[in-house]
Structure 1
């Protein structure tokens, strides 16, 4: 799967599955995320961003933005929901404030609306307003994770999880449970 849209003569976004990333692009994307998160983007965070689609923003031959969308299962209201989960959203520091993040998210939101029951993500404090302005809704209820030992509350994630409803009927004051994975659960 590959979708390319040209935003101007200089800015191009490619949407491509992890399987179609060559080594050079994988290396560039990981380096961009390491730099953008100032060393707070580990191997498990990178692992979470793999296996789905990547929106890659190029200025000429330079990768200046990245965002990924992977499938996860969320439990809510007695139902299992197919979620497009956003991971690894970053724009190079010297290119921020130019609409690049919005362009990347626009591509992922297009995929979410076409393929999933809802979108979901866990936001940093710095990005809360960005996602809210795009129509993502802060989850008002409790969060939890389905772990090998059962459902466990993830209170530290309350208030930082956002959803983009598509077809799922959601009670935003209910409990939202994510599937298990190593590292950060949300």
Structure 2
């Protein structure tokens, strides 16, 4: 599905349906957006799900991805649509690209998952909370190869979009293990 307005389009596609040039352009865009703070692990976290790609004509100006993860909460493993790799080129920010990409990913979350989740930066918090994402107020942790480990530095920066899961946002939320940033 693609959303469009007079100046841009948003295409949603699975990683498997994107050609090498598109994936290379998306990674380059994210490296530029995150000013060198985007590594191989960050890119890997953005693969294997659906991508929302914002274009002006043939030029890629925005990217966001949604991948499946398992989050543990209240004694349950929740099928979670996890948002990764959200970025809009600096000269195109605040023109609706991020909102259009997130609307597409939120549609997928609501149709396929019990819960949406993401890890935000300080700058991203107002954007996501204005869209209805809720800041997780309880402790965050990760299920690591050596057991559950607190991720206190992430407390307050994990946001959720409830769909069908019953949540206590003051309780513990545990993410599955992965290399690099776990949230």
Q: TM-score, normalised by structure 2?
A: 0.99
Q: Is the 8 A contact 1:49 1:88 kept in 2?
A: yes
- Which residue does 1:84 correspond to in 2? 81
3-state SS of the aligned residue for 1:126? Answer: coil
- Which residue does 1:4 correspond to in 2? 2
C-alpha separation in 2, matches of 1:26 and 1:38: 18
Q: Cα distance, 1:7 vs. partner? A: 2.2
Alignment: residue pair count: 183
Structural mapping, 1:8-157, within 5 Å: 8=6, 10-157=7-154
Q: Cα distance, 1:62 vs. partner? A: 0.2
Q: Is the 8 A contact 1:36 1:93 kept in 2?
A: yes
The gaps in structure 2 that reach 5 residues or longer are: none
Q: TM-score, normalised by structure 1?
A: 0.97
Q: Cα distance, 1:5 vs. partner? A: 2.3
Moved over 3 A (4+): none
C-alpha separation in 1, matches of 2:5 and 2:67: 24
Q: Is the 8 A contact 1:73 1:83 kept in 2?
A: yes
Cα-Cα RMSD: 0.6
